[in-house]
């Protein structure tokens, strides 16, 4: 009788699941439901929600764009309207939905249950204005990076009026989620959203001033827009729970590649497996109901890897949407008997997963600041904005690298599948030649076949698609936006967004002062913009790299140019201790000094904890799975060798003897390395966090990779019936 927990039994189970179908985009008659008929049905947006008088709506929207305080009577109107809306849809509880420094979301449910004053026999559903405005979750167990003492547990959540409320369907009931910020008793940001909101407000003010200085007086506001492409893996949940390393760390700590994996590129954009497509259909449906405008879904490069991408929206809402997308992927994957892996590198030797962050700026008249217009002065404004971003990335490259750092992303960056850890900018040949022309005073005329005619004095034919896509660049211009490709798949995008916004804001503030001085001194707008472009490009041209970001030549060239290359998070985190490096975050008002220190400590602690879990897991798996499997094989070989000798066939058993000797040598090496790892982990535990993290990155992680090689060699030689763990073959191809 077959062992139900054997790998063979798990394969049979996974194969059976491929035949299940759970389509949800049809009504009870079997007719397909139009997305437009249910899009946003689980969203309560103040801009369009019923039950709010127009005067109240206008006042709240006006206040949400200023630093003024909401009137309690107006909040009470919204609270009553959202209570009626939510309870009529089956909501029994509400929560303040916030994003602590775990990188995930948090929520504490409170019932709508209320009693009329002095009447405990008349229950009603009610959300008070004060409950909508502010909450007080216990902050004691959230990461705080030493910003408070252990016994100080108070934290506050406060309603973010710029992000719509929504219903989260959990089991048989619904929960009203109220997006909020999360701050400490001393008003320090303990979350990801607060600095992002600050950066959005401040860059709007300064970018609007820039537009006014350059002649665009109609603009009243500038919005940061972004869309985060989300990559992830799906594996059958049976294989997931049979791999302790996946359960504990989110990645396989060892495993041999299958002969055919991603090298034929046959999975990329290929036919989506039926079971996966059924999951994707339900995922799209659930996200549409929550007002998340997902647009694209497809197979990614590695087998078992997929991507989902939304349409552009404003940065704060996009950050919220990405959190919702990740949560929904993981929840619905389990429903379809998958497990979704968000780790940046779940399988060694295969492409990892990133989160390409498309970023741009647009004013309230519809002008995209990174899209050239039909007239020369608009093109100069566009070129000036691009040069501002180039200088921002050049000036603050080290801190931007730190903002996308994690234990998982360290495995992905520079792995000939993702951008290197060196921050450079790709512009494309056309734009680079235009800038070269401005710097040298020469003109540039493009090849007629490109349908472009470029001259420095009149750049009226610059099309938005005049640039190729450079997949090896960490920060690429892609026609009418920039793509921050180095962000990791598991990361909350709010933090790198905040740092990027602050970096651009820093240079934009200086640019406005320069332009004002030049224009006040008699320079024309175009002349002033050209001078500004020359100033920034003269300082930052060395960060532009249009070639292959993977090749060794670029690594050497980048070093010559003086570009920072922080290969690990512990190394990159030193930037957060450099007061000069982080000055721009404080100067622009995006973050306070204490908040930066908090994030330094939280990121450092997180790195150490993740690595410690990995080291502990590999030790356990080697002792409980790897060595026992190899020992079982040795015993079989031992019996075979003994039988050969008893039959007088000793010379003909050389294969068994060779394998036996190999197993013995490998197991001894493996055991000794695991013991050394254990000793080093003990040494790390006695160090301060900074030295501990650097030792882990420099010595323990390479040792872990050596242990993986030993495990892989045993996996390749031990027979399948003795190997008790699912292999890459099982996890990547059984869907």
pLDDT, tens digit, 9 for 90 and up, residues 373-387 = 665 546 899 999 999
User: Which residues, at least 6 apart from 521, have a Cβ–Cβ distance to it below 8 Å?
Assistant: none
Q: What is the pLDDT of residue 87?
A: 94
Q: What is the pLDDT of residue 174?
A: 92
Kindly indicate the confidence band of residue 461, based on its pLDDT and cuts at 50, 70 and 90: very low
Average pLDDT on 574-596 reads 96
Average pLDDT on 12-31 reads 65
CA-to-CA separations, 651 to 551, 607, 642, 644, 648, in angstroms, rounded: 50, 53, 12, 9, 8
Q: What is the pLDDT of residues 189-198, one digit of tens each?
A: 999 999 999 9
Distance CA(154)–CA(183), nearest Å, equals: 9
Residue 53 DSSP code: -
Average pLDDT on 569-575 reads 96
Query: Using CA of residue 556, residue 557, residue 561, residue 566, what is the dihedral sign?
Result: negative
Average pLDDT on 10-15 reads 71
Kindly indicate the confidence band of residue 660, based on its pLDDT and cuts at 50, 70 and 90: very high
**Backbone phi, then psi, for 664, in 5-degree steps?**
-60, -50
Q: How far from chain centre, in Å, is Cα 624? A: 34
Q: What is the pLDDT of residue 361?
A: 97
Average pLDDT on 121-128 reads 83
Is the per-residue pLDDT at 484 higher than 80? yes
3-state helix, strand, coil in the chain (%, to 5): 50, 15, 35
Most confident of 12-21, 275-284, 366-375, 641-650: 275-284
Helix boundaries (H) for 153-270: 193-213, 237-241, 244-249
Q: What is the pLDDT of residue 345?
A: 96
Average pLDDT on 663-692 reads 96
| All domains of the chain in start order, with CATH | 1-24+230-353 (3.30.590.10), 43-189 (3.10.20.70), 192-209+221-229+354-508+534-591 (no CATH), 605-733 (1.20.120.1560)
Q: What is the pLDDT of residues 197-223, one digit of tens each?
A: 999 999 999 999 999 999 999 999 999
Q: Single out the residue of 157, 271, 292 nearest to residue 227, CA to CA.
A: 292
DSSP run (H or E) holding 697: none
Q: Give long-range contacts, CB 8 A cutoff, 24+ apart: 138-143.
A: 139/182, 139/184, 139/190, 142/100, 142/101, 142/102, 142/106, 142/182, 142/190, 143/100, 143/101, 143/102, 143/602, 143/605, 143/606
Lowest-confidence segment of 157-171, 306-320, 408-422, 717-731 by average pLDDT: 408-422
Q: What is the pLDDT of residue 430?
A: 83
Average pLDDT on 652-678 reads 92
Is the per-residue pLDDT at 226 higher than 60? yes
Q: What is the pTM of this model?
A: 0.92
Output 583 or 416, whichever has higher pLDDT: 583
Q: What is the pLDDT of residues 262-291, one digit of tens each?
A: 888 888 889 999 999 999 999 999 999 999
Distance CA(460)–CA(92), nearest Å, equals: 58
Output 3 or 481, whichever has higher pLDDT: 481
Kindly indicate the confidence band of residue 3, based on its pLDDT and cuts at 50, 70 and 90: low
**Backbone phi, then psi, for 239, in 5-degree steps?**
-70, -35
Distance CA(567)–CA(473), nearest Å, equals: 16
Is the per-residue pLDDT at 388 higher than 90? yes
Q: Tell me the CB-side half-sphere exposure of residue 271, using CA atoms within 13 A.
A: 3
Distance CA(108)–CA(178), nearest Å, equals: 11
Lowest-confidence segment of 292-296, 370-374, 481-485 by average pLDDT: 370-374
Is the per-residue pLDDT at 466 higher than 70? no
Is the per-residue pLDDT at 443 higher than 80? no
Is the per-residue pLDDT at 460 higher than 50? no
Angle at 537 between CA 534 and CA 541, to 5 degrees: 150
Q: What is the pLDDT of residue 450?
A: 46
Kindly indicate the confidence band of residue 152, based on its pLDDT and cuts at 50, 70 and 90: low
Q: What is the pLDDT of residues 515-566, one digit of tens each?
A: 999 999 999 999 999 999 999 999 999 999 998 888 889 889 999 999 999 9
How many Cβ atoms sit within 10 Å of the Cβ of residue 530? 18
User: Which residues, at least 6 apart from 305, have a Cβ–Cβ distance to it below 8 Å?
Assistant: 231, 232, 233, 267, 299, 350, 351, 353
Lowest-confidence segment of 247-256, 310-319, 433-442, 714-723 by average pLDDT: 433-442
User: Which residues, at least 6 apart from 493, have a Cβ–Cβ distance to it below 8 Å?
Assistant: 226, 228, 318, 319, 322, 355, 357, 487
Q: Average model confidence (pLDDT) for the chain?
A: 89
524 CB-contact burial (10 Å; exposed 0-12 / middle 13-18 / buried 19+): exposed
Is the per-residue pLDDT at 148 higher than 90? no
């Amino acid at each position: 009788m077959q062992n139900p927990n054997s790998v063979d039994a798990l394969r049979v189970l996974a194969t059976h699941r491929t035949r299940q179908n759970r389509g949800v985009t049809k009504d009870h008659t079997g007719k397909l439901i139009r997305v437009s008929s249910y899009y946003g049905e689980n969203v309560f947006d103040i801009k369009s929600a019923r039950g709010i008088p127009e005067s109240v709506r206008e006042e709240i929207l006006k206040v949400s764009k200023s630093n003024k305080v909401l009137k309690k009577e107006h909040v009470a109107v919204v609270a009553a309207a959202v209570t009626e809306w939510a309870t009529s849809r089956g909501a029994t509880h509400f929560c303040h939905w916030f994003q602590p420094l775990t990188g995930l979301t948090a929520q504490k449910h409170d019932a709508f249950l209320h009693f009329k004053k002095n009447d405990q026999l008349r229950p009603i559903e009610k959300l008070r204005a004060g409950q909508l405005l502010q909450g007080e979750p216990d902050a004691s167990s959230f990461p705080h990076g030493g910003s408070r003492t252990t016994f100080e547990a108070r934290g506050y959540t406060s309603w973010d009026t710029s992000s719509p409320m929504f219903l989260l369907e959990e089991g048989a009931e619904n929960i009203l989620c109220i997006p909020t910020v999360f701050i400490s008793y001393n008003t320090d940001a303990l979350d990801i959203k607060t600095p992002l909101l600050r950066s959005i407000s401040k860059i709007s003010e300064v970018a609007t001033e820039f537009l006014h200085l350059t002649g665009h007086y109609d603009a009243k506001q500038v919005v940061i827009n972004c869309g985060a492409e989300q990559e992830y893996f799906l594996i059958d949940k049976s294989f997931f729970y049979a791999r302790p390393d996946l359960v504990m760390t989110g990645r396989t700590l060892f495993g041999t590649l299958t002969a055919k994996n991603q090298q034929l590129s046959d999975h990329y954009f290929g036919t989506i497996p039926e079971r996966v497509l059924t999951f994707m259909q339900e995922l799209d449906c659930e996200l549409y109901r929550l007002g998340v405008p997902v647009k694209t879904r497809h197979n990614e490069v590695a087998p078992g890897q997929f991507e989902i991408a939304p349409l552009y929206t404003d940065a704060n809402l996009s950050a919220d949407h990405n959190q919702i997308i990740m949560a929904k992927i993981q929840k619905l994957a389990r429903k379809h008997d998958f497990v979704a892996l968000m780790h940046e590198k779940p399988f060694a030797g295969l492409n990892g997963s990133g989160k390409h962050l498309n970023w741009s700026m647009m004013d309230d008249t519809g002008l995209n600041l990174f899209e050239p217009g039909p007239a020369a002065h608009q093109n100069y404004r566009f070129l000036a904005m691009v040069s501002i971003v180039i200088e921002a990335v050049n000036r603050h490259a080290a801190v931007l690298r730190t903002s996308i750092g994690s234990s998982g992303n360290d495995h992905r960056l520079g792995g000939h599948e993702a951008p290197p850890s060196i921050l450079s900018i790709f512009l494309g040949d056309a734009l680079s030649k235009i800038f070269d022309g401005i710097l040298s005073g020469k003109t540039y005329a493009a090849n007629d076949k490109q349908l472009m005619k470029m001259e420095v004095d009149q750049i009226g034919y610059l099309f938005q698609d005049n640039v190729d896509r450079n997949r090896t660049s960490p920060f690429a211009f892609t026609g009418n936006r920039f793509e921050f490709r180095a962000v990791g798949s598991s990361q909350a995008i709010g933090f790198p967004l905040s740092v990027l916004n602050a970096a651009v804001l820093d240079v934009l503030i200086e640019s406005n002062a320069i332009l004002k001085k030049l224009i006040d001194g008699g320079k024309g707008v175009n002349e002033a913009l050209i001078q500004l472009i020359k100033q920034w490009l003269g300082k930052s041209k060395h960060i532009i790299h249009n070639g292959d970001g993977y090749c060794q030549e670029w690594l050497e060239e980048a070093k010559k140019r003086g570009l920072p290359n922080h290969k690990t998070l512990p190394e990159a985190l030193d930037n957060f201790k450099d007061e000069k490096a982080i000055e721009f975050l404080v100067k622009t008002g995006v973050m306070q000094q204490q908040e930066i220190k908090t994030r330094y400590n939280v990121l450092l602690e997180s790195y150490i904890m993740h690595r410690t879990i990995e080291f502990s897991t590999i030790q356990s798996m080697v002792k409980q799975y790897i060595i026992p499997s190899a020992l079982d094989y040795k015993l079989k070989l031992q019996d075979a060798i003994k039988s050969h000798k008893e039959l007088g066939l000793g010379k003909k058993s050389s294969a068994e003897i060779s394998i036996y000797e190999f197993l013995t040598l490998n197991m001894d090496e493996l055991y000794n390395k695991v013991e050394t790892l254990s000793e080093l982990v003990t040494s790390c535990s006695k160090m301060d966090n900074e030295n501990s993290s650097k030792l882990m990155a420099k010595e323990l992680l390479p040792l872990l990779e050596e242990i993986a090689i030993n495990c892989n060699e045993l996996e390749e030689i031990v027979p399948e019936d003795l190997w008790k763990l699912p292999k890459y073959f099982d996890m990547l191809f059984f869907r």
